[in-house]
Amino acid sequence: MFVRTASERDLAAVRELLVETWHATYDDLYGRQRVTEITDEWHSIPLLRANLEQPRSEFLVADDGKTLGGVAYATASDDGKTVMLKRLYVRPAFQRSGIGRALLAEIEESFPEANTVRLEVAVDNHPAVAFYRANGFVISASPETDTKGHSVYNCEKRIG
């Protein structure tokens, strides 16, 4: 897999990857119907297209020429000093192969003026919490509730 900037032609495959990954990760936690509702809202083609066109952002895919193995999306805030990692997902069949680490590294390099990366991770997504911890993120001690009512940890990593 190689990491590259996503394009308009990737959006259907990105959506399919996100839907597959969300169902594999969250069906047991939230139920299949709720996960479908979330993915229909958060991973719609119009929303993905808007992400692709967002200034001061980076939208990446991991690609082997046949399939997408992962996706990452981040935006800059605070005059470019803070990167908000909004998405980092790896297709279940490709997890634990270094794709997530490669996507994260490319996100960090894409914002050279940044000194901090922040994200939210679902409290019950233990593999993701472990991934972020292993990649240098400090995980908040207490969970918070996000705008959709899910329990999340706030995570932060110093970079640069």
Answering whether pTM is above 0.75, one says yes
In this predicted model, what pLDDT tens digit does every residue of 32-46 receive, in sequence order?
999 999 999 999 999
Cα(71)–Cα(15) distance, rounded to whole angstroms?
A: 10
Grade residue 157 by pLDDT with cuts at 50, 70 and 90.
very high
Please count the structural domains in the chain: 1
Q: Tell me if 157 sits within 8 A of 117, measured CB to CB.
A: yes
Residue 89 sits in a domain whose CATH number is: 3.40.630.30
Can you give the residue range of the structural domain that contains 60? 2-158
d(CA 54, CA 114): 17
